[in-house]
Structure 1
Amino acid sequence: MRRIGFVSLVLLAAACAEPMGEPGTPSAWKEPPWLVVRVDTVEVTPYRPGTEVPWDDIEPQPTDGTACGMLGRVMATTDPITGKGAEALCPIEPRPRPANADPRLPDLVVLLGVGSAAHYQTPTAHDAMQATFNGEFVIPTNSIPAEGITLAVVDRDGASAEIIGGVKLGRQELLAAQATRPVFSMRGGGVMRMDLAVLAYTNPMETAEAAVTAQAGGALVSLRPIRAGEVVEIAARGQYRIGTGRGAWIDPRGYFENEPHDPNFDNEPFRSAPHGAGIAVVGGGDARMGAIVAPCARFVARTPGLVWVGLNDADPRNNEGNATFTVKVAGPLPAEWSEGKSTTPCGTFP
């Protein structure tokens, strides 16, 4: 199993991508500052092209079938959530392996690549020839490079991933699709069908607020799913006390000194963060990303999904007090999108 090489991915997509009905050329329309590309149904070959060799071995690789995990350090890998914090996070959008699934079928992930890098991905559809992702990616219109973007489908296995196939879309193709034929299909390599929708990004900014009791520990934010590539800014305020062992009331910055018995969430970035600090999670399935909201965080979402906010305490039953989280979501600046991260300080949104 080879690791993903995005230079070869771009060449593969350029050579193999075929439209299934070419989008027309727009005649007159207002060019939106951002586009939303939604990946709907994806269908791949059961075997590696030109062979009768299945994509996977009968024996699953480590982390295969993970229903709940954080994004790994390498794209299309995962860090399973199994310890402290799993009870709070894993009921939100779990994506388990289907019952009686054939383990030789690939574990599908869609990546959005730009040039030789990819910063955005969907959660995994386990052991599947066909899956409906409904995964949305935001793209700044004027940041699409001359070589376009690549949507690649990979087979995730443990700490590695193998390219199945991909499609390539240039700036004018995306604008033409949005203006005249927003829903269409393409294919490339081992991808027999990829259903796509291209839409204008219409809301410049959305805001939502979530009240969290310290005893509950966290809550879902009443907001539509975040799109990969969007900028998310979360600010927290409040006063609360964590457990009975620490007498001091704190705010979302948390306690200044961690103690060995502190029940922080097991996965990073929470494990090493201040105990009782504000935290947030975006995503679902085996692709979630975390942020420390102490008292504010601004980041680019690398995966689509819902927003959960709470406190860095995996055993909140004996806590007191309350916190309030304000979530703002907007289209990314060109540099934020191309790098997959934000260096802009909190408070930049109006």
Structure 2
Amino acid sequence: MDKIAIRGGGVAGSYLANLLQKSNYDVTLFDLKGKYFKPCGDVVPNIYEPKINWNIKYRIKNFAFYLDGEKIYDVRYRHTKWNVIDKSEWINSMLDNIKQKVIGNEKPERERYDIIINAMGPYLMDRKVVYTTRSLVKTEEFNDEAILEFNSKFTGFYWIFPDSEGIYNIGAGFLEYKNSKELLLQYIKSKLKKYEIIDTRGAPITVDLISDKNWKIGEARGLVFPMSGEGIRPSAISAEAAFDALTKGEDFNETLNNKLYKLEKRIKIQYSLLKIYINLNESLRKSMLKVFLRNGILIDAFLEDKIDFEGISESVKAIKDGAISN
């Protein structure tokens, strides 16, 4: 049986290592710290469940979209649209369960392993990233609505997501503005009257297409939707695809290219739209966003990162079937 090394203990790396270990594979995880914490919105569309369960902290049905301080659109779904998960707890529980780990800067030696898989997230220095910051904020001004607020001056958005009862996950990320912490703290102050910031942290998120995908999974492979920043679900799906390839003796890279084709096509479409948006002036950006945010079908597709012909058709059907209450 092959000896397998995995570099990186984030979503994809820790998940794949656990799946392989459960199937009695000789797998070693190499991770810088052996403890995971990468702040993000911690939301996953309610169309996916991993094979190793995570804890769901909150279920989001209601959404509001703002542009430059003005509410453009809101929507209420009859069923949960997004799940807020305890991502750090999920990953750290998997890291704790891995029997063979190497913590620190050591790299796997090529001659000692038959297969080396890269799951190092955005830290390969081969891509563009957006620097995001998120705060966990305790407040009595809490409701169950998720808010996404766009600013026509920048490429990106603010978010306010219910995290658990009385706690918001509030964040910001803009391509043109690296000091997202400064913007975030100003935004929180403008939105809430009385609050307590429990924790504030930042992290880079991939917003680029990756040319060399061989032996890479998760965000190392570029599996982040550039318009929404969602990376948890595609990273987990890539780990499952890698597990299938390894356990079935299939060609690893060919199998991942095939199994991830739809996801990666949708990422490419979002990246193309993002490039168009970046090159617009502020007035055209505002006009484009207003058209997009007022379209219930496009919003539904955006919330599940399924912006292509097939995905938009699915959203049309969902609306016709009454999944949306307004």
TM-score (norm 1): 0.24
**TM-score, length of structure 2 as denominator length:** 0.25
Higher relative contact order by CA 8 Å / sep ≥ 6: 1 or 2? 1
Structure number, greater radius of gyration: 1
Higher helix share: 2
Greater share of strand: 1
